[in-house]
Chains A and B, each alone.
Chain A
Amino acid sequence: MTVRFFATIRTYTGETERRLDDAPATLRELLTALAARYGTLFRRAAFAGADLNPEIIILVNGRNVLYLRGLDTALSQDDEVSIFPMVAGG
């Protein structure tokens, strides 16, 4: 599994991507593990209490997890997860 970080998320992780040999079963588990690794700023970006932070955008294989199962979205080893803060432009 590849997890990619973008924009300010990169400043929290210090890297642009991380490959995982063992995919966590759900997005919740993935984000919890990443928060444990990267610390408070990442955790605050990812979570609002026990819920997904509304100001984070997470795509699994290009699909926003809000149309999948949110934090309960199941993950598999082939998946690509992309994590963005809210971004914009025109």
Chain B
Amino acid sequence: MFGWTGTTLRVDLTKGTVTREATDIGLAHTYLGARGMGGKIILDEVAPDTDALSPANKIVFSPGPLTGTFAPSAGRFEVVTKAPLNNVIAGSNSGGAFGPELKYAGYDALIIEGKAAKPVYLWIKNDEVEIRDAGAIWGHTTPDTTDLVRAETDEDAKVACIGPGGEHLSPIATVMNEMHRAAGRSGVGAVMGSKNLKAIAVFGTGAVTVADPERFKTAVMKARKMIQEHPVGGTGLKAYGTDVLVNILNQTGALPTRNYQDGYFPTADKIGGESLAAKQLVRPKGCFSCIISCGRVTKVDNPAYAGFGEGPEYETAWSFGADCGIDDLDAITKANFLCNEYGLDTISLGSTIACAMELFERGIITAKDTDGVQLTFGNVAAMVEMTRKAGEGEGFGAKLAQGSYRLAESYGHPEYSMTCKKQEMPAYDPRGVQGIGLNYATGNRGGCHVRGYTIAIEVLQNGAVMDPRITEGKAGLDITFQNLTAALDSAGACLFSTFGIGAPELAEMLSAVTGVEYSVDEFMKIGERIWNQERLWNLTQGYTTADDTLPERLLKDPIKTGPAKGEVNRLGEMLPEYYQLRGWDDKGVPSKAKLKELSLN
């Protein structure tokens, strides 16, 4: 096989067995890898009523056919499992270096099942796979875990691991790789924790074979040039990182503020990418094979919040910043470092703290609940302390680590949880940008921006433009983004390569690598298939059209200040057309004709 390695590794932690299987070629051609292949494996092998934290759940680490080649930014992989947060097929995407190393070790997918009797880690060196005792490593932060595992395996091993967050089975726990890169959403880290699996170390000496090297080289050089010449892919992201978005979202009036109570944060500039570059940036950093280098290596000198690491990304600066009414970048970056170290999702935890702040200010919870802390919007020290407590699972922090839906519901007020399908929405207020609201509402994994990033067109003028304030045309826009992203995620490419290239370039590189001809239509169809597959799973979990919605605040309460003052999200104008264009009935159920067209049952 070209692109794919042809081998899937299966590890049963209950029995302590390791099995090598031939990768299903039909599966590979149809679902590519990563999100698509991992999702199909979960759909086929995990019974729908399985408890996500039980030994019967499985967790798949899967790169894509492009991963590990020199296609631009081709370093991605996904962690796919039944989500502890909300029972969907969690497909959490990550960069760093772990994905390519899995390919070099020889694997298209690593399927982990069962549960170890005691904490273990996996050591994969090409064909040799060991299940090793992790008793001395359990309890450590993700950077320390990485160092400890490397000391026992190889200093060049690439390590994916959980921190205390995953060990505590937090439904917002992450899997980290290369210390600072997160498979962040939906609680995938808790599944590792539930299996007593602390880390996976990989070292590979193989290579990815390419079907048509000359064609591939031509396609890659063209793609790299397009990215380099793009203002964002070429220079913008390297200079300022994703945090550059703070100001443009704020000036658009769509920067969610104080738990989405407003859409404009007057001191936003203090937490944006310009401030980050001036105050904290050590240098940019790129993942495997990436020229975009959006990563931030950062340092905080302020003794109160001193630290060193990577980030914050835009979503993180928002969640611990504007969403908590906070404009202290040092504290925000400290919270970011803590989340990485403990292995918790920055979007979900920041938004959960914001939710708690609103509950506190409304008197629904008091200092008695919050361990004596005045958990009000703008209380910088409280935000950082609560982040640490959440990581430790200590006091009120243990409740925060459950995510905002469970937190708010436990106090009888789920309406203050800014979630869709129990997953926290990220940093774009749908009242100011209509199409992203449709994406949040219809997202298969709940509140999520990356899988249908209409912001690129509605706000960022990336190649095309659509007015963020209108609903016309947004259903079609969302579907195009959702389908393209699903295919891209499954190929192993990075979403940010789309600041430069698109489906034609991705399909061409994929064809050249694999030797399988993928037209643009076929590439998009793969994405559509994966989207529908994830939808079908959600139907088995009891999700209905009633769940394709936004918090009532966003449908009913207008933004109070700023450029989008007075706006609400008009989901009702977009959702029926969305179902219709997707070929679903008016309850959002894929029609038989659509499933047949996509070769789905």
Contact = CB atoms under 8 A, between A and B. Distances in A.
Contact of A57 (B237, B461, B467): B461
B244 A7 contact: yes
Interface string B292-332: 00100000000000000000011100000000000000000
Contacts of A54: 461
Interface string B211-246: 000000000000000000001100111011111110
Given A6-B248, A90-B495, A85 B450 contact: no
B237 A89 contact: yes
Contacts of B252: 59, 62
Contacts of B336: none
A4 B538 CA distance: 45
Contacts of B313: 89-90
B551 interface: no
Contacts of A8: 235-236, 239
B1 interface: no
A80 B453 CA distance: 27
Interface string A67-90: 100000000000010101111111
A84 B269 contact: no
A35 to B, nearest CB: 19
Nearest to B562: A62
A82 B465 contact: no
A64 B471 CA distance: 16
Given A57-B460, A63-B563, A67-B467, A87 B251 contact: no
A6 B247 CA distance: 7
A58 B453 CA distance: 21
Nearest to A4: B251
A72 to B, nearest CB: 17
A16 interface: yes
Nearest to A54: B461
A57 B251 CA distance: 11
B388 interface: no
Interface in B387-433: 432
A6 B248 CA distance: 8
Contacts of B449: 90
Contact of B248 (A67, A87, A90): A87
B456 interface: yes
A64 to B, nearest CB: 7
Interface residues on B, range: 35 or more
A54, A57, A82, A87: residue with the most chain B Cβ atoms closer than 10 Å: A87
Interface string A46-59: 00000000110101
A81 B253 CA distance: 13
Interface in B521-574: 562-564
A89 B43 CA distance: 31
B261 to A, nearest CB: 18
Nearest to A66: B465
A86 to B, nearest CB: 4
Q: What is the interface of chain B mostly: helix, strand, loop, or mixed?
A: helix
B274 interface: yes
Contact of B314 (A16, A61, A89): A89
A90 B236 CA distance: 13
A86 B231 contact: yes
B187 interface: no
Contacts of A89: 237, 241-245, 273, 294, 313-314
A19 B231 CA distance: 28
A7 to B, nearest CB: 6
A7 B236 CA distance: 8
B462 interface: yes
Interface string B261-272: 000000001001
A75 B260 CA distance: 31
Interface string A1-43: 0001011101000001000000000000000000000000000
Contacts of A85: 231, 236
A23 to B, nearest CB: 17
A82 B239 contact: no
A66 B461 contact: yes
Contacts of A55: 231
A64 B461 CA distance: 9
Interface in B491-517: 495-496, 499
B213 to A, nearest CB: 32
B236 A88 contact: yes
A85 B450 CA distance: 22
Contacts of B564: 62
B245 to A, nearest CB: 4
Nearest to B458: A64
Nearest to B450: A90
B240 A90 contact: no
Contacts of A61: 563
A88 B251 contact: no
A24 to B, nearest CB: 20
A85 B242 CA distance: 14
Interface of B: 231-232, 235-237, 239-245, 247-248, 251-253, 269, 272-274, 294, 313-315, 432, 449-450, 453, 456, 460-462, 465, 467-469, 495-496, 499, 562-564
17 contacts: A6-B247, A6-B274, A7-B244, A57-B248, A57-B461, A59-B248, A62-B252, A64-B465, A80-B563, A85-B236, A86-B460, A88-B232, A88-B242, A88-B244, A88-B245, A88-B496, A89-B273
Given A7-B236, A59-B252, A82-B248, 8 more contacts: A6-B272, A7-B273, A84-B248, A86-B231, A87-B244, A88-B245, A90-B315, A90-B450
Interface of A: 4, 6-8, 10, 16, 54-55, 57, 59, 61-64, 66-67, 80, 82, 84-90
